[in-house]
Amino acid sequence: MEKLVIKGPTPLKGEVKINGAKNAAVAILPATLLIDGVCTIDNLPHISDVMISCEILEKLGAKITWNNKNSVTIDTRNIHTTKAPLDLTSKFRASYYILGSMLGRKKEIEVGMPGGCQLGARPIDQHVKGFEMLGAEVTVGNGTIFATADKLVGNSIYMDIVSVGATINIMLAATLAEGTTTIDNAAKEPHVVDVANFLNTMGADIRGAGTDVIKINGVKKLKGNATYSVVPDQIEAGTFMLAAVATRGDLLIKNCITKHLDSITAKIIEVGGIVEDYGDSLRVYCKKRPTKANIKTLPHPGFPTDLQPQMGVVLSLADGTSIINESIWESRFQYTQELNKMGAKITAQGKTAIFEGVEKLSGAPVYSTDLRAGAALIIAGTSAHGITEIYNLEHIDRGYENIEERFKSIGAQIERVKE
């Protein structure tokens, strides 16, 4: 078993470069299944979710060539099965994108029920509704999802809730469908736009991604034969921004799209931090104790749920009492119990948590309950006095490349230790 051992407190200082976005990469890799040809994807984060996605593609018949640890060339001309490996697809959430891609390419697919972080109920009814409206039959049961269609035909689809996964999945299935598909009440996250840009680069005709109406004019074939670079990770950038504030440090966060970070920038300024925007980089620093603030997580461009735990660390150290209302995932406050072991005073009930700010946190053994909880605990450990040990690193490794080396490069005293 591995753990991270952090000695704090350390104000984080220096420069950090943001990698490609996990949640774009795990959709773009399955999207290559729509291509009858070869493409190259650059700026892929080297994380376990990406490695598993590539393994699934290989099992379906794709030929994968690594150009370096962040770039891969994928040849999807010989996809020879419509049964995705159940063990691998059940390991993470984004395996559901194999459904949309393979329905588009082969009109049939079976995958294991998607796994991923335990954040509460994670229904897929909107994905299923979208596929059915395009003409597919979908059967969910016995731990698998089976989808089949004679042909897919474009339709007008109104999403009952704003869903990143369902928006992307319907976009994937509709790319090679006959006619035009319209998705109303679509998700607007940067990774939705990135997947549309990827598909368009490979030959698709998708318009409006980034607004709440996306129009997909079906094309006969995606030729590929192009290189695409994954968008910088909004959540990774936000994680380092909040790490700068929580540790009262000073970071230059390079290679980010600052517009994607507006909601985080606004909250950092509200709690007393300073953000300097240089277009493709941000300097974030905080010289004094942060002040209280209230947060409600919302779909983009609202405050992202994937930064809620990291913001929770800032608020646990703030002057005054703050409230976070989590409107996306019902079980995203599990990390608050771990922060309380470090001296935080947080009361979480249902979708609301009250943070009575404390002056300092103290190191303790804690457990990463999901990916972003893990990131929050690293920030907490770096801010806290004494030694923090973080367990369950497999969650963190799913989404952050080489996390301890990057925290070390900005001053954190952090080591990965085998027990």
The distance of closest approach from Cβ of residue 23 to ligand EPU in the complex, given in angstroms and rounded to an integer, is 3
236: part of which helix (H) or strand (E)?
A: helix 234-246
Active site residue: 39, 54, 117, 256, which one? Answer: 117
Residue 110 has phi, psi (to 5 degrees) of -125, 130
Q: Which of 94, 152, 230, 251 binds ligand EPU (CB under 6 A)?
A: 94
Cβ closer to ligand EPU: 38 or 192? 192
The distance of closest approach from Cβ of residue 357 to ligand EPU in the complex, given in angstroms and rounded to an integer, is 25
The distance of closest approach from Cβ of residue 244 to ligand EPU in the complex, given in angstroms and rounded to an integer, is 20
Contact pattern for ligand EPU over residues 41 through 80, marking x by CB under 6 A: ----------------------------------------
Query: Which tokens hold the place of 70?
Result: 């962040």
Around 177, how many Cα atoms within 13 Å sit in the side-chain half-sphere? 31
Query: Catalytic site residue 256?
Result: no
Q: Which of 60, 72, 111, 166 binds ligand EPU (CB under 6 A)?
A: 166
The distance of closest approach from Cβ of residue 128 to ligand EPU in the complex, given in angstroms and rounded to an integer, is 7
Q: Which of 53, 76, 82, 163 binds ligand EPU (CB under 6 A)?
A: 163
Tell me, what DSSP letter sits at residue 75?
A: E
For residue 109, state whether it binds ligand EPU (rule: CB under 6 A): no
Residue 63 has phi, psi (to 5 degrees) of -105, 125
For residue 125, state whether it binds ligand EPU (rule: CB under 6 A): yes
For residue 124, state whether it binds ligand EPU (rule: CB under 6 A): yes
Least Cα distance to 380 among 286, 349, 372 occurs for 372
Least Cα distance to 376 among 345, 353, 342, 417 occurs for 342
Question: Beta-carbon neighbour count of residue 366 at 10 Å?
Answer: 27
Apex 91 CA angle, 132 and 97, nearest 5: 30
Nearest-CB residue to ligand EPU? 165
Q: Which of 17, 122, 283, 289 binds ligand EPU (CB under 6 A)?
A: 122
Q: Which of 11, 165, 232, 273 binds ligand EPU (CB under 6 A)?
A: 165
Cβ closer to ligand EPU: 188 or 248? 188
Q: Give, rounded to a whole angstrom, the gap between the first and last alpha carbons of the chain.
A: 5
Tell me which residues in 362-391 interact with ligand EPU (CB under 6 A). 371-372
Q: CA-to-CA distance for 80 and 199, rounded, in angstroms? A: 22
Beta bridge partner(s), residue 385 = 362
126: part of which helix (H) or strand (E)?
A: helix 125-133
Apex 212 CA angle, 207 and 217, nearest 5: 25
Amino acid at 175: T
Choices 117-125, 170-178, 358-366, 376-384; region in contact with ligand EPU by CB under 6 A: 117-125
Chain positions contacting ligand EPU, by CB under 6 A = 23, 26, 93-94, 117, 121-127, 161, 163-166, 187, 305-306, 328, 371-372, 399
**Active-site residue numbers?**
117
